[in-house]
Amino acid sequence: MAESSSKGRLSGMIAGTIDRRTTLKLMGGVAAGAAASMFPAPFVRASKPIKIGYVSPATGPLAVFGEPDPFTIEQLNKFLSGGLKIGDASYPVEIVYKDSQSNSNRAAEVANELILNDEVDIVIAGSTPATTNPVADQCELNGMPCITNDTPWQPHFFGRGGKPDQGFEWTYHFFWGLEDIIGSYTNLWKSIATNKVLGALWPNDSDGNAWGDGKIGFPPVLEKEGFKLVDLGRYQTPSDDFSSYISEFKKEGVEIVTGVVPPPDFANFWSQAGQQGLKPKIVTVAKASEFPAAIEAFGERGEGLTVEVWWSPNHPFASGLTGQSSAELAKAYTAATGRPWTMPVGFKHSLFEVAIDALKRAGGPGNPEAIRDAIRDTDYASIVGPINFRKGPVPNIAKTPLVSGQWQRGSNGLDLVIVENSQAPMVPVGGELKPLA
Amino acid sequence: MSQSTARYSVERATRASRVGAVVLLVIVAAIVAMPWWAGRADIRTVTEFLYILALAQMWNLLAGYGGLLSVGQQAYVGLGAYSIVVLSLKLGLNVFLAVPLAGLVAALVAVPTAAIVFRLRGAYFAVGTWVVAEIYQLFVANTASLGGGSGLSITNAVRGIPAFWREALTLWFAAAIGIGALVLVYLLLRSRFGLALTAVRDSEPASESLGVNVRDIKWVVYLASAFGCGLVGALIAITKLRLSPDAAFSMDWSVIMFFVVVIGGIGTIEGPIVGALVYFALREFLDGFGSWYLIVLGLAAILVMLTSPKGLWGWFAAKYDIRFFPVQRRLVLGDEAKESAS
């Protein structure tokens, strides 16, 4: 026993020593390779380009918000192919695009990559608190100028622990606020005769908690305006069963349904409402009914749904960068992609406009403080309306106009027609609210 | 016979392990000095590598050595992260002082949790741990003072610390946790306790019949793992700055742990290091491919599981007989025995 085992052990050891050398070499190579790939050399270039870091949800449940990104970036690259003239110099512009995967962890991670690895001059980001909040947090702490949009300003500002007397140093945001959507929605609901009983679908997320908030949300205004609110509390998203909501809504005789619901949740709610015989006169649900593709998927039941409108081809604004009107931008998008316009088309474009305007006024890249100050002093006419961070309700925030619209049958499929403009009279109304069949 | 036994010795170190110890010391020194010689991006990458390594090592300890197949360790990552909210954002404690406390909070919560999930075995235990993680997530999501489902930013708690020190301290904490986990698992496994632990993994009834206190062993491993995951969770909160229940208690944390451990080699100390290297390399190469990245990650895991169930390191160690962190005892013959044998 001792003999055979010692032989085995011995030969094993000899084989081991030979192989060990070669394998150690191999391992060293692997480790060096891994290290090289992990630590890419910093960019070395003769003429320093302007680098714009852009975070957006290209994949995941929010992907529909990021759909215009390839179009927006391509259009800008084409427009800026000759470089951006600032003073006497002309800077090449490089857009570094990062996918947040609709996940706030990932959004923070890619914002960090942009700041530390890509060493961009400015970070821009858009689409819901899951993107704008983590990105802005990273920028604020790392001293990176940052512009975000497409999150109502309260969940963005207060959701990040913002204090109205202090504000933030590096991060700026433009969009409408809860006061706009509450004003527009209640005005919309009052425009036709109903029993004023309203059922709410507010999820337990940034948006749902803000909208349903007893102080800054819908409830106090609804009470003042004489609506009866049926609110079963914040539901956990994602959810595939709304039976309890539907039966409660039926019991209370709900004629208006509202909420801020992720598209898959609303698809579940709306098909279950059909099966279970809930027949409201008005359904005004943000997020879920903002996109033509989602509405088309409902077929007949998509017609007549109402939603807030933050940008449309009929908005009387033009790009300060390319000079395109809203209608022209929407047309260019449809021509390039074959898809109907969506609201983010305007807002994605506006992010780049506002960033480039600030970079111009800052005298080019290289000085983060100058870029930050230029953003703060922004007074700019963009494709989504005038942007001025000094005139906002709290520091670092600029407000853009908000109206409401209804999906109505047009000559070629469903069109989003603006039916309410009390909060932004400069946007023309295109039709009247019709109750759901 | 007494003569021949004297010529045997029990070997607990290998040449590789002695080399490994020196290399490890050099690496530790290099990492600790990073704030003075490396760029911010590299510091960030190494920090992340270290805490992923710590997470993987914690799961390896649980599943690879303790035989406790938990799929709910994200519960302790999330609890550690939210401890920062309570201790630093609400009570004003320095975030770095709060990190060790976050570990303790996680370990404390693990006590009643373990009391419940230890009543389950095998697949039921796995499902039970997952359910418990979901419950903690729902609890946080429905607690308004913790930000509820909206989540919150801890930027205000971190703001006062200069960037250099924030990054340096985060790195050092990550190094302490990552390399600490490695050393701890190594020392733990070389002790009497380690012997008992691996016995429990191989067969619970058999080790119990030999006088091993299975219950105590499981408790120690589970609490240690919760503590480690809590520390990492707190550190993740400090680097990510924004917390929401679905991100802090994300199943992704467990998935990363599985991936790194399974790819590298479960039940080996070197395995998670190799696995973490592979994970980072894949992530770096496939960064721009969106969901394809996840598909490739999954395929890589399946491929490794099918071709070498003991992981890359397991395959490598078996083939070349190299162990940098030997935990097993090996019988080696003395010189005389070798001579007489040949």
Supply the DSSP string of A223-262, one letter for each residue: HHTTPEEEE--PBPSS-S--HHHHHHHHHHT--EEEEEE-
Cβ within 8 Å of B, A 365-384: none
Contact A133, A110 (CB under 8 A): no
User: What is the full DSSP assignment across A378-432?
Assistant: -EEEETTEEEETTSSSSTTEE----EEEEEEEETTEEEEEEEE-TT-TTSPP-S-
| Residue at A89 is within a domain | yes
Q: Are B281 and A37 a contacting pair at CB < 8 A?
A: yes
pLDDT at B87 over 80: yes
Cβ within 8 Å of B, A 115-134: 116-117, 129-130, 133-134
| Residue at B32 is within a domain | yes
pTM of the full structure: 0.82
Residues A91 and A34 in one domain: yes
Model confidence band, residue A23 (pLDDT cutoffs 50, 70, 90): very low
Residues A80 and A214 in one domain: no
A222-235 burial string, b = 16+ CB within 10 Å, else e? beeeebebbeeebb
Q: Is A165 on the interface with B (CB under 8 A)?
A: no
Structure tokens at A32: 């060096």
- Residues from chain B contacting residue A204 (CB–CB below 8 Å): 141-142, 148-150
* pLDDT at A412 (0 to 100): 75
Sheet holding A397-398, edge to edge: A93-99, A50-56, A122-126, A146-149, A171-174, A397-398
pLDDT tens for A240-252 read: 999 999 999 999 9
The secondary structure element, H or E, covering residue B11 is strand B8-11
| Residue at A21 is within a domain | yes
| Residue at B128 is within a domain | yes
Q: Is A31 on the interface with B (CB under 8 A)?
A: yes
Report which of residues B8 and A262 the model is more confident about.
Answer: A262
| Residue at B38 is within a domain | yes
Residues 6+ apart with CB under 8 A from B117: B70, B72, B125, B128, B129, B132
Residues A323 and A246 in one domain: no
pLDDT tens for A252-299 read: 999 999 999 988 899 999 999 999 999 999 999 998 899 988 888 888
Q: A–B: how many Cβ contacts below 8 A?
A: 140
pLDDT at A401 over 90: yes
Q: Are A234 and B149 a contacting pair at CB < 8 A?
A: yes
pLDDT at B47 over 90: yes
* pLDDT at B335 (0 to 100): 56
* pLDDT at B13 (0 to 100): 72
- Alpha-carbon distance of A268 to A255, in angstroms, equals 19
| Residue at B19 is within a domain | yes
Residues A337 and A295 in one domain: no
- Residues from chain A contacting residue B281 (CB–CB below 8 Å): 33-34, 37-38
| Residue at A429 is within a domain | no
Q: Is B285 on the interface with A (CB under 8 A)?
A: yes
Residues A217 and A291 in one domain: yes
Contact A65, A56 (CB under 8 A): yes
pLDDT (mean) for B113-139: 93
| Residue at B106 is within a domain | yes
Cβ within 8 Å of B, A 245-264: none
| Residue at A40 is within a domain | yes
Which residues is A388 bridged to in the sheet? A379
Q: Could you give the number of structural domains in chain B?
A: 1
Residues A67 and A199 in one domain: no
Q: Is B142 on the interface with A (CB under 8 A)?
A: yes
Give the torsion sign (CA, B323, B328, B333, B335): positive
pLDDT at A343 over 70: yes
| Residue at A431 is within a domain | no
| Residue at B207 is within a domain | yes
* Strand stretches in B128-286, DSSP E: 152-153, 242-243
| Residue at A344 is within a domain | yes
Q: Is B318 on the interface with A (CB under 8 A)?
A: no
Q: Is B279 on the interface with A (CB under 8 A)?
A: no
Q: Is B39 on the interface with A (CB under 8 A)?
A: yes
* pLDDT at A75 (0 to 100): 94
Q: What is the mean pLDDT of chain B?
A: 87
A148-165 burial string, b = 16+ CB within 10 Å, else e? bbbbbbbbbbbbbbbeee
* φ and ψ at residue A274, rounded to 5 degrees: -65, -45
Residues A161 and A204 in one domain: no
Distance from CA of A190 to the nearest CA of B (A): 30
Residues A302 and A327 in one domain: no
Q: How many residues does chain A have?
A: 437
Q: Is B213 on the interface with A (CB under 8 A)?
A: no
Report which of residues B181 and A20 the model is more confident about.
Answer: B181
pLDDT (mean) for B292-299: 85
Look at residue B268 and give its three-state secondary structure. Answer: coil
Q: From the candidates A204, A215, A216, A235, which should be mutated to test the interface with B, based on the most B CB atoms within 10 A?
A: A204
Q: Are B333 and A108 a contacting pair at CB < 8 A?
A: no
Q: From the candidates B8, B153, B263, which should be mutated to test the interface with A, based on the most A CB atoms within 10 A?
A: B153
Q: Could you give the number of structural domains in chain A?
A: 2
Q: Using alpha carbons only, how large is chain A's radius of gyration in Å?
A: 26
pLDDT (mean) for A391-395: 93
- Residues from chain A contacting residue B159 (CB–CB below 8 Å): 141
Residues A138 and A18 in one domain: yes
* φ and ψ at residue A385, rounded to 5 degrees: 120, 175
The secondary structure element, H or E, covering residue A306 is strand A306-309
Distance from CA of A201 to the nearest CA of B (A): 15
| Residue at B227 is within a domain | yes
Q: Which structural domain range is residue A286 located in?
A: 179-309+402-420
- Residues from chain A contacting residue B320 (CB–CB below 8 Å): 16, 19-20, 23
pLDDT (mean) for B11-26: 81
Residues A156 and A239 in one domain: no
* pLDDT at A382 (0 to 100): 95
- Residues from chain B contacting residue A165 (CB–CB below 8 Å): none
Closest Cβ–Cβ partner in A20, A142, A206 for B151 = A206
| Residue at A432 is within a domain | no
Q: Is A164 on the interface with B (CB under 8 A)?
A: no
Residues A268 and A194 in one domain: yes
| Residue at A324 is within a domain | yes
Which residues is A130 bridged to in the sheet? none
| Residue at B261 is within a domain | no
Contact A288, A266 (CB under 8 A): yes
Q: Which structural domain range is residue B150 located in?
A: 15-251
Eight-class DSSP state of B118: T
Residues A48 and A90 in one domain: yes
- Residues from chain B contacting residue A261 (CB–CB below 8 Å): none
* pLDDT at B114 (0 to 100): 95
pLDDT at A310 over 90: yes
pLDDT tens for A42-72 read: 443 445 789 999 999 998 888 889 999 999 9
Domain CATH number, residue A80: 3.40.50.2300
Model confidence band, residue A424 (pLDDT cutoffs 50, 70, 90): very high
